[in-house]
Structure 1
Amino acid sequence: MKKITFILFLFFWICSFGQTKSAITPESIQTSFTVWLDYQEKNIILSSDFVALDENSNEITKEVFLNQLAKGEYFPFEIKSVNEINYYQLIKIDPNSDSSIKASIAEKAIEELDHYKMEGTPFPEFNFKDLNGNNITNETFKNKIVVIKCWYIHCPLCIKEFPFVNKLASQYKDRNDIIFISLAEDTPEQLKKFLAKKPLAYAVVPNMKKYMNETLHLNAFPTHFILNKKGEIAKVLLDYKGLELALKKESQK
């Protein structure tokens, strides 16, 4: 009797699992803004090196893909993932769906498009001192892969990712050609007090608000940069989710 009960339980669990997976359709993720946001957070990383497909499943460039999203007529839908490469397709937004979905997609696409256009350009001139008094310049970056985290103390998302970025820095601690630097808006006094309670395994450069706003033109935090050994921007990411994969790719070149 127990065996039959277990088999029935296993059967219904498998069926339930299959229904949950199949329930993720272009229609289902447009039922509300909350549902869409959850899907986007879990499945879509526009900063990654994905394969872009138009609405007819033809491959297009990432720039064209982002431009189409920026118009507010499409949303990105994950088709599959192969060898850490995602396949995203343009899907027409249902005109009856929550207007917030359309607005959020367009806003994010415009931001990601700006970041994508920064790839391959030299990182702006840099000459500042970190909290330990070490001078950091563009020469410091020479022949190094550089991971830069831009943040400030009162940014909840910036702080929430501390454990992840600390772990990432630890993974590459034996790589002399990879360095981790953070640019913070706050004063040295504020940072020292804060970091005593919440350590960050990056070199921390204080008083960077003007540089980040006027030179890097940032309007979202946290923002991460990965620079290649030529001092060029290899990748710009809005959170840590794509950071590990992007750094792994750059570190293997």
Structure 2
Amino acid sequence: MATNKTNFKQKLTRKQIFNGLFIALILLLLFVPAAKAFMLQGLMEIGLFKPNLTYKTETANTHLSSIKFKNAKGEIISLADLKGKIIFLNFWATWCPPCLAEMPSVNKLYEQFKNDPEVVFLLVDADSDFTKAQAYMDRKKYKLPVYNFASNLPETIFKGSLPTTIVFDKKGRVSFNGEGAANYSNPKFITFINQLKELKN
């Protein structure tokens, strides 16, 4: 009888430990953005979160010259200034786990095209906090160019969901508009960018 009680206590203890670890893991994922980002990165590595590529070209319902961003030096750039180039525009924040999860893939994409004069990257910090955003980039050793808002944005461009990534073709048309984390170093997305480079019309 005593042996049965001992076995029961051991099983109970193991169950309590397992439950405690499970609860700790859930709390970690809920309250630590880096932990959730790490989990999402792992899911990306096994092939989930591919960008949903629909080869479309939509003309923005607003003038590109009214959409402006500012870098840490205070230099202001409008999307109209970048006409003739492919624009990879990403809205993110340091507290946003899906944003942090997709950032390594964004950085890989940037590394592939950083010396290409036809492709421009704008990483727009939704909090407009250069210090915090740049500290994150420096810590991760990313060279991604950080910008802040310098104008209001139409909802056709950004509805407020983070992360949001928009790709404009050389004529300033929206060719990709994706909400939520995605793996932008995916070969299909790289092919998509290269196809936009070759697009004549």
State the TM-score, normalizing by the size of structure 2: 0.59
SS at structure 1 position matched to 2:171: coil
1:233 aligned onto 2:174: yes
SS at structure 2 position matched to 1:150: strand
Offset at 1:142?
Answer: 1.5
Cα distance in 2 for partners of 1:44, 1:165 equals 13
Q: Gapped runs of 5+ residues in structure 1?
A: 1-37, 51-115
SS at structure 2 position matched to 1:240: coil
Which residue of structure 2 lines up, in the alignment, with residue 165 of structure 1? Answer: 106
1:157-188 Cα shifts (integer Å, max 9, x gaps): 11122221111111112311111111111222
Cα distance in 2 for partners of 1:143, 1:159 equals 30
1:218 aligned onto 2:159: yes
Amino acid across the alignment from 1:120: E
1:136 aligned onto 2:101: no
Amino acid across the alignment from 1:198: K
Amino acid across the alignment from 2:113: Y
Cα distance in 1 for partners of 2:178, 2:143 equals 19
SS at structure 1 position matched to 2:183: helix
1:244 aligned onto 2:190: yes
Amino acid across the alignment from 1:224: T
Across the aligned residues of Structure 1 and Structure 2, the Cα RMSD in angstroms comes to 3.1
Taking only the aligned residue pairs, the percentage that are identical comes to 21
Which residue of structure 1 lines up, in the alignment, with residue 133 of structure 2? Answer: 191
Q: Gapped runs of 5+ residues in structure 2?
A: 1-42
Work out whether residues 49 and 183 of structure 2, in 8 Å CA contact, stay in contact via their aligned partners in 1: no
Which residue of structure 2 lines up, in the alignment, with residue 47 of structure 1? Answer: 52
Which structure has the higher relative contact order (CA within 8 Å, separation 6+)? 2
Alpha carbons of structure 1 residues 193 and 144: separation in structure 2 relative to 1, 3 Å: same
Cα distance in 1 for partners of 2:142, 2:49 equals 27
State the TM-score, normalizing by the size of structure 1: 0.49
1:50-91 Cα shifts (integer Å, max 9, x gaps): 8xxxxxxxxxxxxxxxxxxxxxxxxxxxxxxxxxxxxxxxxx
Offset at 1:233?
Answer: 0.8
